[in-house]
Amino acid sequence: MTSVYDFRANTLQGTEISLSDFKGRVMLVVNTASKCGFTPQYKGLELLHEKYEAKGLSVLGFPCNQFGQQEPGGAQEIGQFCQSNYGVSFPMFAKIDVNGADFRAVTIESIAPRPTFRMAPSPNRIRRSPMTVKR
């Protein structure tokens, strides 16, 4: 069975990274776009990164242009936008396709059952083991 750690992806700077580099950490894999109604999510994602990165959380941003052409820029433009508007310091990856013939996404559903997460007992704790439910 394929694991999330088997995936490799290029950063916005063009460096190929294996997701196995994040083994032992909680990964929050986020589909992003610079020109959509959810673009302000970068602010909250950066806050999560700053607060919990030292405690084992890795926020990973994967831009996609397949939904209303909301991420039209190239890697350099995306990186500059994220940094100058939201101070993004978490890893951002090159644009991916999440559907269609060029599907190259890191999606949990493609490698494992969809997890359902429970709230950790304390807001300062990250739960490392999700509860998976059958569908």
> In whole angstroms, what is the distance from residue 91 CA to residue 112 CA?
23
Q: 50: domain CATH number?
A: 3.40.30.10
Can you give the pLDDT at residue 122? 52
Helix runs in 3-103, H state only: 41-52, 75-86
Confidence check: pLDDT of 20 > 80: yes
What is the arithmetic mean of pLDDT over 91-99?
88
Can you give the pLDDT at residue 104? 58
**Tally of structural domains, the chain:** 1
In this structure, the chain runs to a length of: 135
Its pTM stands at 0.75
Range of the domain at 14: 4-132
Long-range contacts formed by 118-123: CB under 8 A, 24+ apart: none
> Closest Cα partner for 62 from 32, 36, 27?
32
Confidence check: pLDDT of 6 > 60: yes
> Closest Cα partner for 59 from 100, 35, 82, 88?
88
**Which residues are identified as catalytic?**
36
The 10s digit of each residue's pLDDT in 54-79 is 999 999 999 988 888 888 889 999 99
Neighbours of 15 (CB within 10 A): 11
